[in-house]
Structure 1
Amino acid sequence: MSTDSTERRKAWTTIAIFLVIVTGLSAVFHYAIVNLNPTSLYVGPLMWCPALAAFATLAIRGRKLSSLPWRWGKWRFNLGAFATPILYVAIAYGLIWGLGLGGFPDPETLAEWAGETGLEVSTPVLIAVMVVLIGTIGCIRAASTIIGEEIGWRGFFVWELRKVMPFGAVALFSGVIWAFWHWPIVVFYGGGEAWLQMSAFTVMICSMSVMMTYFTFKSGSLWPAVCFHAAHNVYFDKLFNPLTSDAGNTALWAGEYGLMMPAVTLVLAVIFWRKAKAEGL
């Protein structure tokens, strides 16, 4: 057997070990979230399952934790990764508000924010304050659990896939696995047509995977993915979506399972895919 074939076989074995472990670990917390209570008590550990699976796989394969891409890397990749989700979330919700698919701003959210901050200020000032607070401190807090996912998915998994696949296949395959990993929660807590929500969510996740894989390979670091993931979760779930009021059919377009985010992220994914090809990734 050639050296190349041997290395590919070793990589596929490593990938299989990781997927078996992450599936087994995650199943425990998926069960708890679905059947017991979807609190941070279970969500936090679930998000650390990919990292624990990566650590266990490294131990089984006789490799060191230091082999993971821990270095911070160049600032431009981390900042670019942080800014990209803010851009596509802003575009998606700008379209939703501009086309009348959802209202802006949501009065209930503004009242809640005013109560939380204790500020009696104009709406633009209140929104600006919350963007500063949630968009910075919120991202730092979110990173404490997000890093568990990213150590596993972008710190370990995509690098193993890269040994046996080109960039596009790595991005899509890891994206599909990442989407499947979320599916139990989508099915049980989506609150709508499961097939439509799962399809929309999967397109969004796979599109995000293309962008995150690009930043990961360009930087040689897992930190851009952490920055990207934190910005996506916070600006999407904590800022833009709460500021959107129902206009009658808003749920079809907005939110984690709506149609607008997959559409916008898909366009950006094509752009990043072409950049990766042009840059030899």
Structure 2
Amino acid sequence: MTASSRPDWLAIGVFAVTSVALSWLVALPLWLRGQGLADPFLGLVAAAMMFTPSLGVVAALLVQRRTRGRRGARAVLRELGMWPLRPAVRTVWTCVAVIIAAPLLVAIGLAIVGALGLATFDLVGFSGFQRTLEETVPAGTPLPPVGLLVAVQLATIPIGAVINAPFAFGEELGWRGFLLPALRPLGVWPALVVSGAFWGFWHAPLILLGYNFLEPNAFGVLLMIVGCILFGILIGWTRLRTASVWPAVFAHGAFNASAGLGALVVAADSATPSPVVAGPLGVVMWGVFAVGIAVLVLSGQFRADRLDARLGPDPVRVDAPSGTPST
């Protein structure tokens, strides 16, 4: 690895410290109020946290401006994968594909949960969802057919992906826009794993309150790190393939929009499985992500000639005859 191909550790460090420090600062009211997951401001705080990685990118760019000199807006946008969209067709269709793929992955995970007997699903009467609706409105309130409501919910997942996109962008500009390309000189797989691990660790202010896994401890943070590494490899591949951050943004948004699918199809009398095993980033989904990664690897999608050479300011060469990125 030559000096010119080494990661910019100063900028990476500034990004890491800034994004984590700001995430704790934004989440601090939840800790001070002491209501944990019952806090009515939880959703607002979680949404605000999603923009802290972007602020970390701003801090890193300011550092790079001092160390690398002034760069034009076009160069910065290109390095962050925001613009231009080249090739545009590949980028747009990848965005469409991930919006479809994210709910399919969640649905596959739910099917496995059902097959393992961890939960019972009602795909006809949607009795669990029906009960939830009845409990949220005054007794006797007429409700539309529950099947229609479920169909509407499923049909609006792509819309949810678009609605979630600004919040997902707040994170993805950091993880896949800046950090993954910044780590790319280490090699493709180290960059994917480290950026995914940091993504998971960044969630600690909420995970330590019991968010996602109901494990408010180091074990919960570790679970989040593993889940984010595996999912991060999948959406990180879209960044490597297209040199654009937008497919990762829409994949993240679509996954968040799909995370509640289980609540639509669970039976009213079903046991409640542990989110550690059956949650959107639980152990079952780890297996689903792992199979998805294996399919990409076995189909040659991580071959050097399939990855975009324009990724980042100092990308790893992608013309190695062995098919392995050279450093």
TM above 0.5: yes
Q: Is the 8 A contact 2:95 2:246 kept in 1?
A: yes
* Bigger RCO (CA 8 Å, 6+ sep): 1
Deviation string, structure 1 residues 185-219 (Cα, Å, up to 9, x no partner): 22221424845544443322111111111101111
Q: Is the 8 A contact 1:113 1:130 kept in 2?
A: no
Correspondence 1:128 to 2:156:
no
Per the alignment, residue 232 of structure 1 pairs with 255
Q: Is the 8 A contact 2:114 2:120 kept in 1?
A: yes
TM value normalised by structure 1: 0.85
Q: Is the 8 A contact 2:168 2:252 kept in 1?
A: yes
Read off the aligned partner of 2:64 and give its amino acid letter. Answer: R
Correspondence 1:69 to 2:92:
no
Between the two proteins, what is the percent identity of the paired residues? 24
For the residue of structure 1 that corresponds to 2:186, the secondary structure is: coil
CA distance in 2, matches of 1:16, 1:231: 30
Please report how far the alpha carbon of residue 155 of structure 1 lies from its aligned counterpart in structure 2 after TM superposition: 1.1
Per the alignment, residue 303 of structure 2 pairs with 278
Per the alignment, residue 110 of structure 1 pairs with 130
CA distance in 1, matches of 2:271, 2:25: 38
Q: Is the 8 A contact 1:241 1:255 kept in 2?
A: no
Please report how far the alpha carbon of residue 156 of structure 1 lies from its aligned counterpart in structure 2 after TM superposition: 1.1
Structure 1 residue aligned with 2:162, among 140, 151, 158? 140
Please report how far the alpha carbon of residue 131 of structure 1 lies from its aligned counterpart in structure 2 after TM superposition: 0.8
Deviation string, structure 1 residues 82-110 (Cα, Å, up to 9, x no partner): 22222211111011123321122363423
Structure 1 residue aligned with 2:266, among 225, 228, 244? 244
Per the alignment, residue 100 of structure 2 pairs with 83
Number of aligned residue pairs: 274
Please report how far the alpha carbon of residue 249 of structure 1 lies from its aligned counterpart in structure 2 after TM superposition: 5.6
Structure 2 residue aligned with 1:175, among 196, 219, 242? 196
Q: List gaps (5 residues or longer) in structure 1.
A: none
Q: List gaps (5 residues or longer) in structure 2.
A: 34-38, 66-70, 308-327
Read off the aligned partner of 1:254 and give its amino acid letter. Answer: A
Moved over 6 A (4+): none
CA distance in 2, matches of 1:193, 1:52: 26
Read off the aligned partner of 1:35 and give its amino acid letter. Answer: L
Higher alpha-carbon Rg: 2
Correspondence 1:95 to 2:112:
yes
Q: Is the 8 A contact 1:50 1:152 kept in 2?
A: yes
* Greater displacement, 84-93 / 106-115: 106-115
CA distance in 2, matches of 1:200, 1:104: 25
TM value normalised by structure 2: 0.74
CA distance in 2, matches of 1:242, 1:194: 29
Report matched runs for 1:209-224 at 5 Å. 209-224=232-247
For the residue of structure 1 that corresponds to 2:208, the secondary structure is: helix
For the residue of structure 2 that corresponds to 1:250, the secondary structure is: coil
Read off the aligned partner of 1:5 and give its amino acid letter. Answer: A
